[in-house]
Amino acid sequence: MIETPMPQAEQAAGQGDGEEQQATETAEQDPGRQDETQESQPHADRTAASDQPPPDADTDEETAQPARTEATEEIIVTGSRIRRDAFTSALPVTVITSESATLAGMANTSEILQTSALASGAQVDNTFGGFVVSGGPGVNTFGLRSLDPGRTLILVNGRRFTPAGTRGQVNSVDLNSIPDVAIDRIEILKDGASSIYGADAIAGVVNIITRKRFDDVILEGYYQDELDYGSVSGLFGKTWDRGYIDAAVEFSTLGPVGRDEQDYSFCDERPLTDGGIHPSIYAPTRDRCFGSVFGFVDVYGIGPAISLVRDPGADLAGTGLPWRELGDRNGERVPEAGYRDDRNWGEEDLIPERRRIQAYSDGLLDFELGGLLGTVSASYEFYFTHRDESYNNGYRQLFPYVHPANPTNPFGGIGGIAQPVVMSYNLLDPVTEVQNDVGALRLGLEGDLGEFSWKADGGYSWSRGEWEYDVWLKDKVARAMSAAIGPDGNLHCILDPGQLLAGANFEGALVSRILADGPDPDCVPLDLFNEDALRRGEVPAEAVDYIRARQQLKTAYDLWTAAFSLEGRLFDAPAGEARGVVGMDWRSRSINDRPPPAAVEDNQWGFTSSGITTGADRVIEGYTEVEVPLLSGFKLGDVSVAEELTVNGSFRYTHYSSYGSDTTWRLLFNYAVNPVLRMRSSVGTSFRAPALFHLNLAPVTGFVASRADPCDRFRDPSQDLDPTSNQYRNCEALENQGVIPPGYAPSTSIRVASGGNPDLEAETSDSWTLGFILTPDLAGRFPALGLNLSAAFDYYDIDLKNSISRLGASEILSRCYNSLNFSAEECDLVGDRNQNGELTGVNSSYINVAIERSLGYDITVRADREFSFGDLSVDILATRLLAYQYGLGDEKPTNYAGRHSYPNWRGEADMRFQWRDFTFIWTTDYIGATDEEPVYTLPGDESVTNVAEAGDRFFHNLSIRYRDPNRRFQVIVGVRNIFDVSPPVVGWSGFSPSTGTAVGYNIPLGAGYSLFDRRIFASFSYDLSSLF
């Protein structure tokens, strides 16, 4: 990748607005590829910190330089709207070219960004299919500087791209929706830029630049075996004197990859530090594998709640019932006689099956208007992606309450309310399906007015998503579990309010609706106590068809944009021209998310409910940016004091119809002491307006594990709970009041509801950066060494206030139960307890929390040397996270640096050697060690805890490229994760206790680890122009 920390006078640069040609474009350029310098010197796209890229390996410097200079045009660099004739930036910008990614064997935009050393914090990738995430199943997002993806602005050719996905929390750009085939390079600005681009650019900006102006017909292909990922694409381009047109289409397939195909993810291990396995009667282990226990029955109403399993030789408390208590009686940490689900491991997907079609086209036409306007350029851009995915999320459990009067309940004779726990093997289709269509159309005009240039454009982008999944319907489960023996001796559904109350999980509103509807003639009674149901999840097909239903959710997101800007020379400054830009932006965004009726009516058993989310917002902004060169070539005697000193300032006024107005500003300083040392710094403010779903999200429900209940076995010595603590006393008070039973141990998940908050304020941030760049002339001073070396250091500090987030359910419960007599404000967010003492819900809607802060630094080093037999280059990028602090209210913020998904160190290295028509590439990715607070100790042995440390990992990749001398054909073959390194395994599942990082398949998810074993990849590109 290219690190661009300083002026690079002749280097190809990012046209932040998309119409400008690359600075090195020439009529003789090999169409459809990088410029000749980058193509013949393939490591040039990884330049770290050089004033000037190395010369073309196939030509000498004297002939290469004029070719580049003749066609140099004004360009726009990401992070600024001012045109310039060199890639000069006072901001830290990293460039990843498509060539660089292809050489490393990276398959798509998501992989390029999410595995980058610049990624920090959990990145939502394809492994999150079983989690509730913003944007719904299948989205891939990216965030910089440990902040969430909503604080990194994603642009395509300098313009906003629509968020995409399903469900009401659509907000971030889905990287899947950006056509990979169109990408020329990715420019990553690692600094806040709201004064340049508007809201959301708090952590930085990712600007994806597309291929333009090529005169070719190109066929490309890629395949990677372990992911079963393949793609084939075609590109067409035509240029003429007054314009060009480009088009491309790509078809790709991915997976599925089952979790049983990787050793680390085969089953839930949850190891302990003594080499043992985690004990739990609710999720026991055997052979180091967790598996949900089923085939047992929880019984209430006959004393303390008890879990029972069938045992022909047992006699339950003298009742004659052949059942006994489920438990670990032999110290093997495994409850006997409960069935353990081990079928999931062969069913659940680690990576989904995906089919994707992408299309892209752009064009430009110059026409002459004459007079003041002169030549005007009209342009267009069009993008379209269709994504079709299916996830096998594995089996679930069905555990409805059954009234004592139901004749299928074996404990009815002793007054027990029973809760049989069965697996969904034959009761539910575990596969969910997602379809998403994303498109964008932009039209633009630009021209010159004297010394000024003007630009006007407008665009429309859209996302249409559908999500299909299977559920059990609550009302039908309630009816099916309310049964009696009819005159014919068979089991029949009845309409009994008492039984319905048990069968519907004690939800009175649902019972009232069922009673109002009256009997259902299609009802099929359900018996879950027989061996077929308890052991194999098998019930009659007609009963399954009655309680099960396929659901479909539809989500639409629309974004309209319009912009006008005027840029040019302002005045003569002491060291050159002062230039500036003024402009206006307008945007309109809307969301319409329509869940199925069962979700709206909260009629999905054991599944989330949600309402219809609709909302719209309009934004109008005005901005200005000015850049003034103050000093150039200033010396004191023979000592260079200021080779260059440039100041850049920008200001933006923003008005949202939803919440009001805001302003942002930024100052940049670019100071070159001499050709060897350069310093750069920025200071400014940014903001993020509340997203549409922050303001308008209808209540959505999810679940947290029952162990989040503060009163879960609170008297048990293994909980190590201080009897004088507020938590203990509050739970004791509930027990004394009969709200929770003695020995309370909840067995059902806690429902969590979250929704929008129309009273939210915007997030604001202050940030500053400081960078140093060294470019010693080693080749000039030591010609025999022949080494070019450059290095850059960039420090950043982002301080975020009024951060929009949600308190997690566990945090809310902890704050409430650790307060004196439930006096904390968070107690208002905790629902009542049901008849069994279990929590009915927690409200976790969006709020403005107090602070969030991220600070650290990046180090970039590049060295290259030309030999008589070839060229060698080495590039290293290391990122250090000093602190990621998160705090609420007036409490002292917690530093999460060093915990899962927030390693203190990440790095990447690229070593390339070019020999004749071959290029050899060795790349290494490094992720530092992380750990968490231990969350479990064995009774009587406090030294044994869950495995909380994730050790550091190096992942190495090797590839070789051959390109024919005419540059019409190239093939790349390689191996990723060549040493077959697995991700680190940790000792819990769900969410980590301290950071909330998702943990699944035994590893921290979205942390950047290579998820797959050693794998082979291959790609090719062939120019078919000679055939046409």
CB 826 within 8 A of CB 817: no
Lowest mean pLDDT, pick from 207-211, 302-306, 420-424, 596-600: 302-306
Q: Is the pLDDT of residue 20 over 60?
A: no
Q: What integer pLDDT is reported at residue 31 of this predicted model?
A: 26
Q: What is the three-class DSSP state of 276?
A: coil
> What is the dihedral sign for C-alpha 84, 89, 93, 98?
positive
Alpha carbon of 112 to those of 180, 345, 674: distances in Å?
11, 29, 35
Q: Between the CA of residue 154 and those of 198, 563, 852, what are the distances in Å? A: 12, 17, 21
Longest Cα–Cα distance in the chain: 113
pLDDT at 43: 31
Report helix, strand or coil for 809: helix
Tell me, what's the pLDDT at 990? Answer: 66
- Residue 804, pLDDT score: 86
Query: What is the model's pLDDT at position 13?
Result: 32
Measured CA to CA, the distance from residue 936 to residue 273 in angstroms comes to 10
Classify 510 in phi/psi space as left (phi over 0), alpha (psi -120 to 50) or beta.
alpha
Q: Cis link prior to 597 (omega < 30° from 0)?
A: no
pTM for this prediction: 0.85
In order of their start, the domains of the chain are 2-258+352-390+434-449+612-690+761-806+846-1027 (2.40.170.20), 278-351+396-433+474-550 (no CATH), 695-760+809-843 (no CATH)
Q: Which helix (H) or strand (E) holds 515?
A: helix 508-517
Q: Residue 128: name the closest of 186, 183, 185, 167 by CA.
A: 167
CA 866 – CA 855 distance, rounded (Å) = 38
Q: Which two tokens stand for residue 573?
A: 């400054």
Q: Which of 46, 9, 42, 95 is nearest to 861 (CA)?
A: 46
- Give yes or no for residue 4 having a pLDDT over 60: no
Is residue 739 within 8 Å of 777, Cβ to Cβ? no
Tell how many helices (H) and how many strands (E) occur in the chain: 15, 53
Question: Would you call 276 exposed, middle or buried from its count of C-beta atoms within 10 A (0-12, 13-18, 19+)?
Answer: middle
Helices 809-817 and 726-736 pack at an angle, to 10 degrees, of: 80
Residue pLDDT, tens place only, 357-378: 999 999 999 998 877 788 999 9
CA dist 531 → 7, 112, 539 (Å): 75, 51, 10
Distance set, CA 42 to CA 58, 68, 537, 738, 904 (Å)? 12, 17, 58, 73, 31
Angstrom distances, CA of residue 285 to CA of 269, 289, 334, 341 = 8, 5, 6, 10
Comparison of pLDDT for 504 and 937, the residue scoring more:
504
Cα separation, 793 vs 574, whole angstroms = 29
The predicted-structure confidence for 101-135, as pLDDT tens digits, reads as follows: 999 988 899 999 999 999 988 898 888 877 778 88
Looking at 343-495, which runs of residues are DSSP E strands? 349-351, 353-370, 374-392, 397-398, 417-423, 431-449, 452-473, 483-485, 491-493
Output 586 or 942, whichever has higher pLDDT: 586
Each residue's pLDDT tens digit, 287-338: 456 667 778 898 988 777 788 888 888 888 888 888 888 765 444 444 455 5
How many residues appear in the chain? 1028
Read off the pLDDT band of 188 (50, 70, 90): very high
pLDDT band at residue 57 using 50, 70 and 90 as cut-offs: very low
* SS3 (DSSP) at 758: coil
- Of 92-106, 196-210, 274-288, 836-850, minimum mean pLDDT range: 274-288
> What token pair was written down for 699?
């209540």
- Residue 883: the pLDDT is 96
Strand partners, 632: 644
* Confidence (pLDDT) at 547: 96
Return the DSSP state at 272.
Answer: B
Neighbours of 223 (CB within 10 A): 17
Mean pLDDT of 1004-1016: 91
Q: Report how far residue 819's alpha carbon sits from residue 829's, in angstroms, rounded to the nearest whole number.
A: 14
Q: Has residue 732 got a pLDDT over 90?
A: yes
Instruction: Using pLDDT thresholds of 50, 70 and 90, give the confidence band for residue 996.
Output: low
Average pLDDT value over all residues in the chain: 84
Q: Answer yes or no: are the C-beta atoms of 941 and 964 closer than 8 Å.
A: no
Query: Taking Cα atoms as reference points, which of 226, 2, 215, 6 lies closest to residue 99?
Result: 2
Question: Vertex 928, ends 926 and 932: CA angle to 5°?
Answer: 150
Answer yes or no: are the C-beta atoms of 800 and 763 closer than 8 Å.
Answer: yes
For residue 295, the model assigns a pLDDT of: 82
Of the pLDDT bands very low, low, confident and very high (cuts 50, 70, 90), residue 75 is: low
Q: Does the pLDDT at position 395 exceed 80?
A: yes
Instruction: Summarize pLDDT for 232-250 with one digit per residue, the tens.
Output: 999 999 999 999 999 999 9
The CA distance from 677 to 83, in Å, is 25
Per-residue pLDDT band at 285 (split at 50, 70, 90):
very low
Report whether 172 contacts 150 (CB < 8 A). Answer: yes
Instruction: Give the whole-number percent of the chain exceeding pLDDT 70.
Output: 85
Instruction: Determine the Cα–Cα distance for residues 509 and 500; give it in Å rounded to an integer.
Output: 11
251 vs 253: CA distance, rounded Å: 7
What average pLDDT does range 508-532 have in this prediction?
Answer: 88
Specify the range with the lowest mean pLDDT, choosing from 162-166, 510-514, 907-911.
510-514
> What is d(CA 615, CA 622) in angstroms, rounded to the nearest whole number?
24
Say yes or no to pLDDT of 35 above 60.
Answer: no
Distances, alpha carbon 12 to alpha carbons 4, 15, 76, in Å: 11, 9, 11
Q: pLDDT confidence of 593, banded at 50, 70, 90?
A: very high
Asked whether residue 58 carries a pLDDT value surpassing 50, the answer given is no
Of 250 and 69, the one with more pLDDT? 250
The token pair that represents 934 in the structure block: 């231990």
Q: Tell me the C-alpha distance between 422 and 487, whole Å.
A: 29
* Residue, of 91 and 443, whose pLDDT is higher: 443
Map 151-196 to HEC letters: HEEEEECCEECCCCCCCCCCCCCCHHHCCHHHEEEEEEECCCCHHH
Give, in order, the Cα–Cα distances in Å from 650 to each of 40, 196, 578.
38, 7, 14
Q: Are the C-beta atoms of 499 and 523 separated by less than 8 Å?
A: no
Structure confidence by residue, pLDDT tens digits, 619-660? 999 999 999 999 998 888 888 889 999 999 999 999 999 888
State percent of the chain over pLDDT 90.
54
Q: What is the pLDDT of residues 438-473, one digit of tens each?
A: 999 999 999 998 889 999 999 999 999 999 999 999
pLDDT of residue 851: 84
Return the pLDDT at 991: 65
Per-residue pLDDT at 997 exceeds 90: no
Q: What is the pLDDT of residue 39?
A: 32
List Cβ neighbours of 916 (8 Å cut-off, separation of 6 or more): 870
CA distance 737 to 570: 77
SS percent in the chain: helix, strand, coil, step 5: 15, 45, 40
3-state secondary structure 52-87: CCCCCCCCCHHHHHHHHHHCCCCECCCCCCCCECCC
What distances in angstroms separate CA 761 from CA 168, 184, 518, 700, 802, one per listed residue?
20, 38, 47, 21, 7
**pLDDT bracket for residue 994 (50, 70, 90):** low
Q: Residue 659 class from Cβ within 10 Å (0-12 exposed, 13-18 middle, 19+ buried)? A: middle
pLDDT exceeds 90 at position 10: no
